[in-house]
Structure formats: structure tokens, C-alpha cells
Chains A and B, each alone.
Chain A
Amino acid sequence: MDNQVKIGVFFCACGHIMNDYFDMKALLDYAGRIPGVTYVDENRFLCTRSGFDWLKTKIANTGCNRVIIVGCSPHLYEQSFMKVVEEAGLNKYFLSIANIREGCAWVCREKENLMSRARRIIAAAVQRVSFAKPVEKVRKNINRSALVIGAGLTGIQTALELQRLGIKPILIEKKTQVSRKNPPFFIPCIEGINEQEMFSAKIKELRDSKIELLTSTEVKEVRGNVGSFQVTLDTMGQEKALEVGAVVVSTGDQRQAAERIHNLPNSRRIVSLSQLRNMFDFERRTLERMLVTPDKRTKYACFILGDSESFTKTNTIMALNEAIFLKEQFKAEIVIAAKDITVSGTELEPLYRQARQKGVLFYRYSQDSLPEISLEKGVIIVRLHDPALTVNDEEKAGYNIAVSSDLLILEDEIFPHEGTDRLKDILDINVNQWGFFQEKNIHLKPNLSNKKGIFLAGACHGEEDIYETLNDICSVSMGVYSYLSQEFLELEKKIDINTDKCVLCLTCFRSCPHRAIEIGDVASGQKRGAMVNVEACQGCGICVGECPAKAIEMVTYSDNQIFSELTFEG
């Protein structure tokens, strides 16, 4: 192979914009004189189809093996130019873009600096591209099936969606049968929707769809990477091995009565929100006895919100929903005492308005005087101070209220599901400070874990209301689809480890955010060392920065390439 570097520098005049700022002829001259540059040319519009074709033929005719585009910002057309360069038969990283529009022409106020800055940018690009090394491509086959962990509503719905998209889902559940998650998923009170019926319908749909469902099953081991995870499942002692292309975690969260409930007098009439929901479903009689009596005395149910440290939005939704329910079904008088009714979910504002219209009473208390709960002669008395209510005397703002309630409902605290801790070690993914699974990027990639091919759906990555969960399900199924619908995975080997220099200090192993570094026998020699897993690597270069032995090199950003940009000459 001809190893001589032949750099072609192609200027884009961007219509006539560049000529307004630069003396293009001088720049072309300058570029032509840089050692290594064999060809220089200019086009009016490189970013058009004809421009791309022009570029392709020029590369072919002049025999350049490195390409520099002098024009606009790499963010605009770098990908397109890479494609063109690839079509011309070169490695796509043999391209460098000298950004003299956004990086120079529109930056410099002083005309005299314009040309020198542009010259420096072009020189740096030439340097950079002459140090460029080809990036190897690795092709990998894809297994078109996905493992869905946890058969709650989220899991079932995700599996159904995946099947619809042509991906074979395998649904596993730790419990002996698929049941509504306890506490259940939650839908704000929309007239005519019965949650129980809806869930039964979903289960029926699942049965009809012939999706493989394994109950009493846990994940024992997961190896491999996106496209082919080797999973070992454990069904009551029986192991089963299978291969899947992606993993969806939908283990959900766990609700517990807030700590405060244990400090209160022990009474059956003091419950948490999740306990109340349970009573709705399984102990309706008890609830009736508490709230409906023959003597027609008005019965009171009181909710207290926002008094625990961990304030959560689903608690508010749940409380409003149950309040309307209790009001409708048992004709009870409902009092909601809250520090603040926080509107932070879809449909929450209409729900609040609905509650108001139905006659639910709202009281507000302040941080300084939290509601006091006492049990007096078998009656629960809630005493609170509402600063918003005023009596005639205007100086004394606020009003003391005592509610004798037949049922007192307190908030839940929300925790990650109990299996989360074990699962995170098995899947090798991160959890956040609260113990929920950590998203790859909470703004940009809210459903990806830090490992490629492992997705997070539902409340396993933080508290969610039903609308967010539905969003999750859609984006997760599309995410899985976008990976698994390809014919094969094409991966780039951006990180290169020199095993001779590796001293097995494990720094890269610990610092890799995607757990892409493996330690083991390197095939070429007997020496043990760090290896990069191409499927998991996302090319951030953190390991390169951390490696104390400088054994790791990032092919697309090698030291020489970075250094070449630091010079101030020219």
C-alpha cells in the first residue's frame, strides 16, 4: 500500500460568504504550500449534492488519501462529508474540517487577525489529518429478541409493543404469578376506567399474544453486550440459558408507609396511602365499617401530605384520586391537609379542580407548625394551624382547626424495588444516590442505562406517574427497535490499548462509565491486560485520560492530533 500521505484541501466558498471575509486566493496559496498537501481546490457549494459528487470525483482523480474541508462548523456537515469520504474509498476519519466560518470569519472583529487565524486553523487541520489513523470497523450479528425483567404493567406493555415491532420478547417475573404490582400502578380518576379491569384485559392480551412468560424466575447472570447478551435465568433452582439482543428493566419501585406512621399511636384507622389502596381492593368491608354507619353521622377521612422529608408527586396524585373515590363511594367528608399541593404531573390540575368541585376540603399548614395527631378516647384528632384562614381580628392571621377523623391517611415513602441492588451487580449498571437505576443522561437519554442495550422503563429509574410510564414504554420499545432492527451492528474500534504498557492497575476498569473495559488474557500474547469491549465502548476517552501508564490511545483523538492544535505559529 502506498503509505505516503497525500492531503487534499477543499475550500467551500459558501456561496460568496467566504470571499467577503477572506482573500481566498491567498488562503489557497497558503494551503498549497503546507508540506504534505498535494491538492487544493475551491467549490462554491460543497454541501450540495453536486458539491458532494464534485468532491468524490476530485478525491478519486487526484489520489488524495486525506481530506480537509475548509468551510463551516463540523456540526453541520461533518457526518455528510464523512459519508462522502467513505464512498470515495477512504476511512471516514481521514477527514478533518477546518471551521473558518463559525470559528473564524464570524468571530474576528479585527480584520487584521482574520487571515492569520484562518491560516492557523487550516494548518492545525492539516497536522491533525496527517496524524490520523484508520478506525477499524467491527461487524456483529444481532439477536432479535429482548429480555423484559419484571411483569408489571410496564413490563407487559413493553413486551406487547416489542412484539408488535417484530422483536421477540421474553418476559420474566420474580413472583409466582403476574399480578398487579403491590402497590399498584396508578391512573388518575378518569371516569369509566376501572384499573382492575384494565389490568385483567392486559393480562388477557398477554396470554393471547403467546409471549413467552416465565414466572418465579430471576436473572442469575448476564454477559455480553448489545446484540448478544448471554443470559442465565433461574426458575426455582432450574437454570436456563438464552441469548437476547437487548434487556429492558422494568422492576418498578416499592412503597412503604413513611417513618412517621410508626411513631403514632397504633390504630387500624391510621394507614398509609398504599395501605388504603390495598383496603380498597381486598378489605372493602373494613373500609365500609369505618366510613359508613347506620346512624348517618358524617364520617371524616383526613389526608396529611407533605409532612415527611421525601415529598413525592405520586403521593399527591394518589391522595387526590383516593379522596375523590372515598367521597363518591362512601359519601365521607374528606379533609386534605397539605403544606402545598404541588402540581407537577399531567392531569394533576384537573384532578385537583375535580376534588374541589366534589367538596373535598383543603387546609394548608406551614413548616413551623406541623399537624399534631393524637388519639383521644378512640378518636383520632388532627390539630393544625391554617395560616391562610383569617378571623375577624386581622392581626392574628391563621386559624386553629381540629378534625376528628375516622380514617387518617399518611404519605408513602418510595424506594427502589428490593431486587434493584442485586440486579445492578448482575447487569453491571449504575444506580443513583437514591438507589434507583441511573439513566445515561437524564435529559438526553432518559431511558438508557450506562450500558448500551440495557433500557430502563417505568418506576425503576425514579418515581413516575402513569403518563411518564407510558412515555417510557414507547421510547424504550423504539430504542430497542432501533438497535435490533438493523441487519448487523457496525461498530468502530475507537480505543486502542497497548498491552505491553498495561500494568493492570485497573484504573481504566474502574473509571469507564460504560463498563467497557475487561481484564483478561490478550489473545496475541500470554500477558494479561485490559481490553476494550467494542460493543460497550461509546468513545468518551475517559480511560485514555486516566491511564497512568499511557497505554491507551484514542484513535480519533490521539495525543499528536491534540498537540497539533495547540501550536500558535502560522
Chain B
Amino acid sequence: MDFMPAIVAFCCENSAFRAADTAGAKQEGYPSNIKICRLPCSGKLEINYILRAFEEGADGVFIFACHPDSCKFLKGNVRAQKRVEHTGALLEKIGIKKERLRFFYLSELEWTKFLDLVQQGNESIKGLGPCPTKVKV
């Protein structure tokens, strides 16, 4: 059977969460192995959320934030991006490729882009194979 990666997508409820909703409502379909996790702002994302996701057996983690300068809370998205970059470096140290952690900017209306991104992201994580640190199967 094909390898189905487990992916967590952290979505800002002001943009990507709505985009995901619209994408769902359009009935276009996207990979069902992507788990959507709602955040009040991407700035709320903590490093241990990402690490916990990998611990729980995720093969990839995506973070969707609002576009630069469009954050409802001014700079939450930029903070998230910095945190993601930092976490990427941490992951490399423990042997998880930082390509497994991806950061995207997305607006509420870009549901087609959301579909493309999760589709591509899913493919690329598939290419990387199962996460080496997967404890739980």
C-alpha cells in the first residue's frame, strides 16, 4: 500500500482556516491525511506544538499564516515565521529534515492556492518518506 503521510496543518482562524473551509465547501477534495488545527492567530503557534505533532507521529507539519502586513494582530505572522525557522533548525539537529516543516502565507480567499499547497506539500512529504523519529505507529 502507498505510504500515507500524517500531516498537521496549523491554520490561522482569520485566513487559512477559512480558506480550508471554503476549499471543503467547494467539494474539490484535498488529501484526507491532513489534519487541520485551528489557531486564533499564527502568532499563537508555539515551538512545542510543532515538536508535539512530530512526537505524536506526524510526518510533516504545515503552518499557514496571513500574508505579511495583513495580520489582524499586526505582526503575528512574522513572529510565527521566525519561530518556524528556529524550529526547523532544531529539527535538523535531532535528525528530522527541515523540509518536513513548511511555512506558507495564505489569505482567506485563496482557497485554490490552499488546495495546491496541500497537494504539493503532501507529495513532497510522501517523497521524504516516513519521519525517522516516528515513535507511535
Contacts and interface: CB of A to CB of B under 8 A. Distances in A.
A27 B72 CA distance: 37
A563 B52 contact: yes
A296 interface: no
A99 B41 CA distance: 19
Contacts of A567: 56
Interface stretch (B26-34, B89-97, B98-106, B120-128): B26-34
A550 to B, nearest CB: 9
B74 A568 contact: no
The size class of the interface chain A forms with chain B is: 35 or more
A75 interface: yes
A544 B44 contact: yes
Contact of B21 (A73, A443, A557): A73
B72 A568 contact: no
B76 A513 contact: yes
Given A75-B21, A444-B72, A540 B41 contact: yes
Contacts of A539: 40
Contacts of B24: 73, 101-103, 106-107
A568 B44 contact: no
Interface in B64-116: 69-76, 79-80, 83
Nearest to A441: B72
B6 interface: yes
Given A73-B24, A106-B29, A120-B35, A541 B58 contact: no
B49 A103 contact: no
Nearest to B137: A568
Contact of B58 (A546, A562, A566): A566
Nearest to A124: B35
Contacts of A443: 70
A475 B55 CA distance: 49
A113 interface: yes
A544 B80 CA distance: 12
A108 interface: yes
Contacts of B43: 540-542, 545-546
Contacts of B16: none
A565 B17 CA distance: 14
A391 B129 CA distance: 68
A320 B119 CA distance: 52
A438 B74 contact: yes
B22 to A, nearest CB: 8
A117 B41 CA distance: 25
B72 A540 contact: yes
Interface string B30-65: 101101111111011110110011001110000000
Contact of B79 (A440, A511, A554, A568): A511
A441 B75 CA distance: 11
Contacts of B32: 104, 107-110, 113-114, 117
B37 A557 contact: no
A1 interface: no
A158 interface: no
A430 B69 CA distance: 14
A538 interface: yes
A442 interface: yes
A556 B35 contact: no
Given A107-B32, A117-B32, A566-B35, 9 more contacts: A75-B18, A101-B24, A430-B74, A540-B72, A542-B73, A542-B76, A544-B46, A554-B40, A557-B40
Top-8 shortest CB links A-B: A102-B24, A541-B44, A542-B43, A540-B73, A108-B32, A540-B41, A513-B74, A113-B32
5 contacts: A113-B33, A114-B32, A513-B75, A540-B72, A542-B76
